[in-house]
Structures are given as C-alpha cells and as structure tokens.
Amino acid sequence: MKEYQTKEVRNVVLLGATKSGKTTLAEAMLFEGKVISRMGSIEDKNTLSDSNELEKINQRSIYATPMYAEFEGGKINIIDAPGSDDFIGGAYSAFRVCESGVLVINAQQGVEVGTESFVRRAEAQNLPMIIAVNQLDADKADWDNVQNSMKETFGGKIVNVQFPNASGAAFDGVIDVLTMKYYKGDQVLDIPAEFADQAEEYREQLIEKAAEFDDALMEKYFEEGTLSEEEIHSGMNKGIVSGELYPVFCVCGKKDIGVKRLMEFIKDVAPAPDVKADGPTSLFIYKNDVEQHLGEVSYFKVMSGTLTTGMDLEDPVSGGKDRFSAFYAVAGTKKEPVTSLHAGDFGCAVKLKNSKSSTTLCIPGADITYDRIQYPAPKYRCAIKAKVQQDDQKLGDALKKISSQDPTVVVEYSKELRQTILSGNGEQHINIVKWRLNNEFGLEVELFAPKVPYRETITKVASAQYRHKKQSGGAGQFGEVHLLVCPAEGELNTKFMINGKETQLNIKTQDITELEWGGKLEFYNCVVGGAIDLGFMPAILKGIKERMVEGPLTGSYARDIRVFVYDGKMHPVDSKEIAFIIAGRNAFREAFRNAGPKILEPIYNVEVMTPSEYQGAVMSDLQNRRGMLGDMGADKGFAILKARVPLAELYRYSTTLSSLTAGSATFTMEFADYQPVPGDVQTKLLADYAAQEKEED
C-alpha cells in the first residue's frame, strides 16, 4: 500500500436510518477504491462491513466497521455506523475520529426520524455533513418527496450538487451541476437538452451558496456573476466545515451509480484531518474488539506525527507501554500490513496491553492526552443473573469483556439493590448482549425488571428513646439514647414539644453529612449535664447511619433528616461503643416510623420525538405511566413531548415506544429528582416489603 500523507487522507462516517443502504454504499466505495474486485450484498451475507455472525443473522449493521478506499491518489477512511438507535455507540466513536459525515437518505422514505436523530447528534458534535440520496432506482423512490423533506428539515443549508435523470426503475444517471456533466454508468456525457434549464438553475444556486462563506468570493460573484470550479470548491469547503452547507448527491449503492463522483467530491472538497502532522507521535484508540483467530484488536487514529514499525508508545495516564511491531490498514475483515501511518490516518493493532477504547498512546515523555469519548446515557436497564449460581464469576468476567468492546453496555453491581444492573440503548441492544453470553461465552442468564432505588424520608417531628441492656456473665452492655427527628428542610429550629412539654434544645456539637446516595443527614448533640459522654456521640451517629442504609420502610436508603440527641443514660462500667450504636439505631428507627415516613421515587425527565400522527398514542402511554406532561412543541415535522415519569414505570419503555410508533420515534431520559410516591403505591410497596421480610424469616 502507498504511504499516504495527512493532506491525502479523508475520514468519513456513513450515517443514516436503518435500511438507508449505508453498508451497500460502503461496498460500492470499496469497489471503486479497488479494495474489493466484486461487490457483496446484504442478502448474500458477504459484505466486508456486516461480517459479524450477528450482523449476518440480523441482516443489519450492529457494530461500526472501519474501512478504506484508495482513490485517485488519496485514501478515504470510511466508518459504516449502525442505523439503529440501539447501537448508537458506534456513531459516537466515529464522531471523534472523522472530520465529516455522509448522511445517507433513503429515496423511498425521505428524511426519517432516524435520519433526523443522527443529524441532531452530528450537529451537536460539530460534524460537517454531505448528503447522499440513495436507492433512487427503487420502485417507490420519489425525488420530489425527498427534496421537500430535506427542505423542511435542513432549510437553507441544503444545496443540490446533483439531481437524478429519473426516479424509480428508469434511474440510471445523475446530472452534476458542479462539473456540468451527465454521469451515466461509466460514461461522462454532456447534459441532455431536456435537463439543461434545470441544471443551469441548480448551478446558479450552488455558486451563490458557495460564495456566501467567503467575502472575496462573494465580491467576485457580484462582479462577474460566476466562479471557477476551484473557487466553488473553496467556498463549499468553508460552508461544509461551518455546518451551514449540506451538499446533496444522488447515488445508487447497489448498482454503483454516482458513487465514484461522490468519492471525488469527498477527496477534493471534504475537510482534511485536523491534526499535527509534524508533532510527536500520538494516537487515539476509538474502538476495541475481539476477533476470531486474532484476539483483541485495537482500532486507532494517528493524531500527530508518524507511527512506524517497531515504535514504542506509552499510555501517559497509566504509564503502560506498547511496542508496535505490526499494524494494519483496515477494510472490515481485510487487514493490510503497513510500515507507517501519518497523522490523520486510521489503523489497527493486535493484542496491545493498553487497548481500551478512549485510550491515548504517545511517544514516552510527550505527555499527550485526548478527551475520552462521551457516549449518550443508557435508556434501557434490567437486572441480570446467571441461571447457575456457580457461573456468577464467569458472568462478571464476560460482561466486563463485552463492555470493554462496547462502552455503551454499562454493568454495575448495586449494593443498594443487591442486583447486577445491565444497561444499554434499548431492548435489542441488551438482547444482543444476551446472545453473546449464550453463544460466545456458553452462559445461561436471566434478565428481569430491576428493583427501583427508592428513598425514604420523614414529613414531621417525632421523638423516641431506646435502652440497650445486655448482661451475660461477665461485663455487660448498656446504653440509652433519647432523640428527636424532623425533616432536614428550611431554617434550623431547636424548639420542640417533647413529652408534652415545650423544650428548647441547645446544640453542643454537630455533624452534617452529604450522603453518597443523595440528600443529607444533620446530627446535633444537645445532651446536657453529661448524661451521655461526648465520646459516645460518634457511636450513636454510626448506629443512625447504619439504619439509614437500610431504611425502616422498605430497606431503601433514607435521606434528608435532622436528628437531635437530647438525653440518655450511661453505666460507669457497662457502657460501651456497641451499646450506643445499637441504642442509636433502634431509637432512630422508632422515631422515623412515627414521623410521617414517606417513600420517595426517582423521577426522570423524558423527551420524546415522534411523527405527529403518533402524538396522541405517545401522550396517552406516558400518562398511563404516571407521567406528568410538560412542554410540547414541534420541530421540522415532528412532535416533541416532554414529561416527568417515575423510573418504576419506564421498564421496557423503549420497546413500547417503538411498537406504538412503528419504530419511528426516539427518546432521551435523564434523572431529575426524587418525589413522594402516591399513597396507593406506598401502601403496596410497604406490603410487598413486609411479605419479603416474612419470607426471609
């Protein structure tokens, strides 16, 4: 393979909704780049991109696949990103290492919710984009409909570089208004007379749009009424980089129509890598995988300098070192050995010690680090356990490996819930994890609804006292604690009715703890006359904290409570730390139960984007989930619904939403706060916990 300099490299990610034809387009690009001599197909399960067994079974992209095409003296690195929202992690990895995206739009559907979702994410990442309208040969292809949907979605950002000679079965060529040529198969022809007027109109729009982004070009355009092709390239490049220009191309990946011309535009106009070609060598690992016959494979982008065979690099964070004795250019399953890669180029290496995704490796002493990839928060969570208890350790190891390959798979053991929680982007995503556990690791697992991390608090004032007395032969245990509890809110009040008498408490010492699970505990020592020695106060506080870890109502964490210890008793011989831990714990529990205890539940802010025709069904479903509807709006033909919904009601929501909207809606969810559960829900939770405790006894 030729050694490519930074200026000769372009990095693009293929984005688009499921069934938009990204993988087929990638196959055509590799064919044009002479990487393959024959195009594969999804149906025949022989594409370089969707080569994983799971992808062949599902006939869809599940993982982001890096590829390349050597084209007209340059190299185009391509990442084929999955179209499903469930596998969005691959797109986020690509956002970090690609300078532009090719947004693939299905000519039969126009701009879909999935398309719009990718656009929003790409714009948030400041990723410039080129639009490729694909499948124009399909029976239901409709160029006019695509045009209308693009204008509605992108407004004045779109500009047609091409338009098709026809839509549907008659489509076999494109009119390019940048080169003013008609591309039909391998032929480059003059524009037919019947398309001449339309071509001139589109070209005028293109030149005017290109001039917008450069004052000098705009001045020349006003003076001369036109621009050269090179000047149009320059203006369009600036517009694309700014995110204010989306040039539109027409292609048919399956028949390789218009693909070569799209690649020429990427090579000539798309932004080059923004890297330091002359800096010290460094690279960024954006993807980690395990491949049969190879083992662990790390995919990287050279961020500065030049990587050469035999070079030693280190992780500046851990100090771990790796020798690059061999590395490769990657085209799906095809890996070509290379001896050097310049800044901006992609490659992979096998069995690196420092191989995790988002890892920086650099020349020892350079101390270069790049920000980690920030993935979207998971939207689907479930509990998981091995069907055979002896497999628990194997399950933990397997989940750790899967999560390292796909960072959007989040695994955590909740000490609070006593469950292993598996989170991902949707039920399909989690089912893929389960398939891998079954088929790759030989583990049978159960997936089920996770417990909800409730919180417990109080709503009024209550006092209690508890004496712990134990005598068994030798030294005994004695401790008596009198305390009062109230909600930790508002100004600090120290005057209370205790045993029917108004009492003013005087604070001697205090301890305010911000609890790791949220909320706080305020602890005030108000004991007078030495009824309890100051040295026993930490023991009383410890007993209270132990009880707050397992709240009196449902065993959930307690929060936002003020505790005043105002009296008690000691024994000169038998009073010990353990006695006051037990006395404090039990006095707190009794006072808590008499203080208007309330269960709090986590509330999430949910935002749904759906086609307007499904708005009513989505709203009704949210209300059935005890959701409180908030702001509603519209954006580019889609309804946007906002609601506050209890986490307890969001299990499998992604699946239900997909069913309600024929897979056309998307949503995000983010923790908001804790709120009291309704009375009927609290009654049920208390009954369930009582039954659970009885069963355990």
DSSP characters over 383-445: EEEESSGGGHHHHHHHHHHHHHH-TTSEEEEETTTTEEEEEESSHHHHHHHHHHHHHTS---E
Q: Exposure string (b/e) for 346-377, b if CB count within 10 Å is 16 or more?
A: bbbbbebebbbbbbbbbbeebebebeebebee
Here the tokens at position 356 are: 């995790």
Residue count of the chain: 697
Taking alpha carbons only, the member of 316, 315, 313, 311 closest to residue 326 is 311
Here the tokens at position 655 are: 């699946």
Residue type, 383: A
Map residue 207 onto helix, strand or coil: helix
Q: 688 Cβ partners below 8 Å, 6+ apart?
A: 554
Q: How many separate helices (H) and strands (E) can be counted in the chain?
A: 16, 38
Count other C-beta atoms under 10 Å from residue 136's C-beta: 27
CA distance 84 to 170: 30
Q: How far is CA 189 from the centre of its chain?
A: 46
Candidates 3.40.30.10, 2.40.30.10, 3.40.50.720, 3.30.540.10; correct CATH number of 282-362?
2.40.30.10
* CA within 13 Å, CB half, 695: 6
Taking alpha carbons only, the member of 595, 476, 477, 475 closest to residue 536 is 477
| SS (HEC) of 54-110 | HHHHHCCCCCCEEEEEEECCEEEEEEECCCCHHHCHHHHHHHHHCCEEEEEEECCCC
Map residue 352 onto helix, strand or coil: coil
Map residue 75 onto helix, strand or coil: strand
CATH 3.40.50.720 is held by the domain 456-596: no
Taking alpha carbons only, the member of 112, 156, 60, 197 closest to residue 610 is 112
CATH class of 380-448: alpha beta
- Interhelix angle 229-242/259-269, rounded to 10 degrees, is 80
Angle at the Cα of 524 (from 520 to 527), degrees rounded to 5? 160
The answer to whether the Cα torsion of 365, 367, 368, 370 is positive or negative is: positive
CA distance 346 to 93: 13
CA distance 296 to 299: 10
Q: What DSSP designation does 276 have?
A: B
Q: What DSSP designation does 50 have?
A: S
Do β-strands 638-646 and 598-611 pair in parallel, antiparallel, or remain unpaired?
Answer: antiparallel
How many angstroms separate the first and last alpha carbons of the chain?
71
Tokens 């005994």 -> residue = 476
List C-alpha distances in Å: 618 to 554, 622, 656, 669, 679. Answer: 32, 6, 9, 15, 26
Q: 319 Cβ partners below 8 Å, 6+ apart?
A: none
Tokens 């449902």 -> residue = 554
Taking alpha carbons only, the member of 284, 317, 288 closest to residue 302 is 284
CA distance 288 to 285: 8
Fold agreement between 6-269 and 380-448: no
Fold of 599-680: Alpha-Beta Plaits (3.30.70)
For the chain, give every domain's residue range.
6-269, 282-362, 380-448, 456-596, 599-680
CA distance 642 to 607: 5
Tokens 């997936």 -> residue = 447
Consecutive 10-residue runs of the chain (697 residues): their mean pLDDT?
A: 95 93 94 90 77 71 90 96 89 96 96 85 93 96 95 92 94 96 93 96 95 94 92 96 96 95 97 94 94 86 97 94 95 91 97 90 95 92 95 95 92 93 94 94 96 96 95 83 96 94 95 95 95 96 95 93 97 91 96 96 95 94 96 85 96 93 87 95 92 73
Q: Are 498 and 463 in contact (CB under 8 A)?
A: yes
| SS (HEC) of 618-674 | HHHHHHHCCCEEEEEEEECCEEEEEEEEEHHHCCCHHHHHHHHCCCCCEEEEEEEEE
Count other C-beta atoms under 10 Å from residue 35's C-beta: 21
Query: For 6-269, which CATH superfamily applies?
Result: P-loop containing nucleotide triphosphate hydrolases (3.40.50.300)
Q: What is the CA radius of gyration of the chain?
A: 32
Do β-strands 419-424 and 380-386 pair in parallel, antiparallel, or remain unpaired?
Answer: antiparallel
Tokens 């190299």 -> residue = 75
Angle at the Cα of 425 (from 424 to 430), degrees rounded to 5? 50
